[in-house]
Amino acid sequence: MTGAGVARAVVTGCREWGAVTAAGYGDGVALILSLVLDTDAQRRLDDLRSAHFPADRLVVGAHVTLFHALPHPPEPRIRADVRRVALRDPFEVRIAGVRSLGRGVALVLDAAPLLAVRAELAEAWRPWLTPQDAQRFSPHVTVQNKVTPEVARLLLQQMSAAFEPWTAQARGLALWRYLGGPWGHLSTEEFSTDVPGGP
C-alpha cells in the first residue's frame, strides 16, 4: 500500500510539543508514526471501527500507532531513521485477541518484528519521547472508545465470543503531522530490502 492508500487515516489523542513534560510538548506541532497494513486488513479494521465507534466522535480511521507525538524540529533525522528501519521484508501481524480499554474495546496485535522495529526507534528517539510514548509498547487497534463502561463491556463480550485470530500483512511505516484531530500525511516508507539507489 502506498502513502496515498493510507492517507485517510487520522489520529486523536496526540500530545503537544516543547520540553518533555507529562502534558507533552508546548509548540502545538507533533509528528506521528503508524504501521501500514495491507489493503484488505485496513478495510476490515476500518469497517469494525466505523460500526462501533461513536459516530459523532469518529474522525479517524483504524490505525496502529507506534509513536503518538514526535518533535517536528528533527523531522529530517526522524525520516532518515524511519527509512533505515524500513529496510526489511514485510511481515505478518497476528490479530490475536480482544481487550478492554475501560471505556472502549481494542484488538490486540502480535508480531515480533513490529516490536523490534518499535524498540529500535524508541532507543534512537529516547530523549524526545513523551511519557505516553515512553511506556511499554502494546500494539493494538482501537475499535471503540469514549463510550460508557457498560456499552464497552457489552461489545467486549460480543466480540470475544465471536473472535477468531487472523493475520494481516505489515507493509511499511507512515509518518504524519498532527493537525488538531486529523493527520496530514507526510511520507510512507514501504518495507523492502532493496536499498534506494542500489544496484
Cell of 79: 525520516
Report the distance separating Cα 165 and Cα 34, nearest Å.
Answer: 22
Cell of 19: 520540553
Q: What angle is formed at CA 185 by the lines to CA 74 and CA 107, rounded to 5 degrees?
A: 100
Task: Go through the domains of the chain in sequence order and give each one's CATH number.
Answer: 3-190 (3.90.1140.10)
Q: Which of 15-19, 47-51, 131-135, 189-193 has the lowest mean pLDDT?
A: 15-19
Report the distance separating Cα 37 and Cα 165, nearest Å.
Answer: 16
Give the global pTM.
0.84
Tens digits of per-residue pLDDT, 5-58? Answer: 443 333 322 222 233 332 344 455 799 999 999 999 999 999 999 999 999 888
CB 42 within 8 A of CB 75: no
